[in-house]
Amino acid sequence: MASKVPVDVGLIYEGERIRKNQMYVDLAGPKSFGAELVRVVPMDEIDDGKVFLEGPDIGDMEEGKAYPFGILLEVGGKSMEEDLEGVLERRIHEFSNFIQGYMHLNSRDIIWCRVSKDAAKKGLTLKHVGQVLIDLFKSEWPMIEKMQVKIYTDPEATTKFREAAREVYEKRDSRLRGLRDEDVDVFYGCALCQSFAPQHLCTITPSRTSSCGSISWFEGRAAAKIDPNGPIFEIPKGELIDEVKGEYSGPNEVTHEKSGGTVDRVYLHSIFNYPHTSCGCFEAIGFYIPEVDGIGVVHRDHRGTTPFGIPFSTMAGQVGGGVQSDGFVGMAIEYLRSPKMLQADGGWNRIVWLPKSLKERVLDAIPEELRDKIATEEEAVDLESLKEFLKKVDHPVVSRWETEAAEEKEVETAPSVPAEGGQPVMEAPEIQAQVQGIPLPGSNVTIIFKNAKIYAEKVIITRKGKN
C-alpha cells in the first residue's frame, strides 16, 4: 500500500463489526445522512491521488455523535466507461471495510459508516480513508489511470452532494426501464456479498435490478466484459421454466453452484416458495402479511415499525444472511418500478402497505386506481387497523378474503364422517405435523391436531425389508 495510514488495512478486517460501545463517531447512517458516488470524468479534471475534504475530519468530531458524510470518487482512464460507475461504486463497501476500525454498510444514499474509538485514537482521518480507496481501486483496476476523492462532512455541502448523487442514480436507473427480461439473451450474477452471506447470489436482470440497487443489468454487462472471472459474471438464461414467476434453468443452476448446493430454485418475480435470496444490503424488504393476504414493503430509511409491530432492522436480521425465506424478499427500491414486480403474486394489486416516504418516492409507478388504496403508517400501524383500512377502501385483496371465506365455509359444512357412516382408521389424542411453506421467517411451523380422527377410503399396509 503506497499510502501511510495509522491503522492496518487488509482483507482480514472485512468482516469487522464495530459495536456501539466501541464507536467513536457514525458517518451518515440512520441518525444523519449522506451518499456515495463514483463518476468517470475526463482525465484533465483529475488531480491524481488527491483527497479533498469539505467539513470537519474525524479528530474534530465529538465522540458518540453522528455526522453527515458524502464521498465522491472521480476516476479517469482511456478505457473507462460510464457503465462501470455503479460497479466501482459497489466496491467502496468492500474496500472501505479493509480499513481496521472503519465500518461501511449499505450503498448509495443510505450508507452508514462507523469509526472505532481505537482507530480515532491512532489518528485515522477521512483523508486516510480516501487515500486507501485510491490505492485499492487503482491496484484492482489498472484501467483507472487517474483518481481523486472528494469527501463532504459539512451539512450544507453534503446535502448538495446528496442531491447531485440522487440525480445520477435516477439517470442510471431510468435507462433500464424500457428493457425487460425477455429482451436479452443473458443475465448477470453478482457474488460480492458472499463475504458475509455465503449462500447469496444476486441474479441481475433488466426487470430485476440487484438487491442493493447499485448494479443494473447494464452495469453487470460492463463489469463482466472487463473481468469475466470476477465477482460479477454472465449467467446464461437457459430454459424458461415459468414466465410469470420468472424461473429460468440458467439462474437455478448457477445459484445452486454458487450457494454451495443450498438453493436450487429461484423465482425472480415471486415472494412465495422460492423467492430470490436476501443478503443484507437490500434497500427494501417485501413481506407477506397472512392476516390480510397482502404484501407490504418497508425500506431501510423507515424509522417506525411495520404492521407486524417490528421495524426494518428486526425484519432484516431475520431474512438476511443469504437465506431464502418464503414470504419475504430483499429488493432494490427500483424493483418497485419494474413492470414484473412480484407479478406472480399479483404485482401492485397485492401491495397493501408502504411507508409514506417510500410511497411518495414510487408514486408514479403505482397504478392510479390503487394509489389511495395502499396504506402507509398514517393509516395503519398494526394488523387490525390495516385490515380496517383495506376494507374501507375496497382494496383488491378484499375480494380474496371473500373467496377464502367461501372456501372455508365449504370445508366447514362438509360431513365430518363419511356419508356412509364409515369408522375412523386412526384415532389419537394428539398428532403433530411439521409444515413447510407457511410464510413465517426463521423456521418451519408445527400444526397440532387435538383429538384427531382420520378417515380414509382405502388403507394400504406395506411391509419393508425381507419379502
Tell me the C-alpha to C-alpha distance, in Å, between residue 218 and each of 204, 222, 284: 9, 6, 21
Residues of span 266-295 touching ligand SF4 by CB under 6 A: 279, 281
Query: Which of 148, 210, 252, 343 lies at the binding interface for ligand SF4 (CB under 6 A)?
Result: 210
The closest alpha carbon to 277, from 231, 328, 318, 311, belongs to 328
Query: Which of 7, 58, 115, 193 lies at the binding interface for ligand SF4 (CB under 6 A)?
Result: 193
CA 91 to the chain's CA centroid: 17
Stretch near ligand SF4 under the rule CB under 6 A, chosen from 188-196, 347-355, 383-391, 442-450? 188-196
Residues of span 6-65 touching ligand SF4 by CB under 6 A: none
Query: Which of 84, 126, 202, 351 lies at the binding interface for ligand SF4 (CB under 6 A)?
Result: 202
Residue 441 burial by Cβ neighbours in a 10 Å radius (0-12, 13-18, 19+): middle
CA distance 27 to 16: 17
Stretch near ligand SF4 under the rule CB under 6 A, chosen from 58-66, 208-216, 375-383, 455-463? 208-216
CA distance 355 to 381: 10
CA distance 12 to 431: 50
Stretch near ligand SF4 under the rule CB under 6 A, chosen from 204-212, 404-412, 418-426, 442-450? 204-212
Stretch near ligand SF4 under the rule CB under 6 A, chosen from 27-35, 122-130, 210-218, 458-466? 210-218
User: Angle at which helices 85-96 and 155-174 pack, to 10 degrees?
Assistant: 130
The closest alpha carbon to 202, from 178, 185, 219, 227, belongs to 219
Report the nearest approach of ligand SF4 to the CB of residue 200 (Å): 6
CA distance 316 to 328: 10
Report the nearest approach of ligand SF4 to the CB of residue 429 (Å): 49
Query: Which of 125, 211, 216, 255 lies at the binding interface for ligand SF4 (CB under 6 A)?
Result: 211
CA distance 331 to 207: 12
Stretch near ligand SF4 under the rule CB under 6 A, chosen from 39-47, 186-194, 251-259, 363-371? 186-194
**Strands laid side by side in the 23-28 sheet:** 66-67, 23-28, 112-116, 102-105
Between 198 and 441, name the residue whose CB sits nearer to ligand SF4.
Answer: 198
Stretch near ligand SF4 under the rule CB under 6 A, chosen from 190-198, 408-416, 440-448, 452-460? 190-198
Between 125 and 216, name the residue whose CB sits nearer to ligand SF4.
Answer: 216
C-beta separation of 83 from 221 below 8 A: yes
Does position 212 bind ligand SF4 by CB under 6 A?
A: yes
Does position 263 bind ligand SF4 by CB under 6 A?
A: no
CA distance 359 to 353: 9
Report the nearest approach of ligand SF4 to the CB of residue 90 (Å): 5
Between 68 and 251, name the residue whose CB sits nearer to ligand SF4.
Answer: 251
Q: Which residues bind ligand SF4 (CB under 6 A)?
A: 90, 190, 192-193, 202, 210-212, 214-215, 279, 281
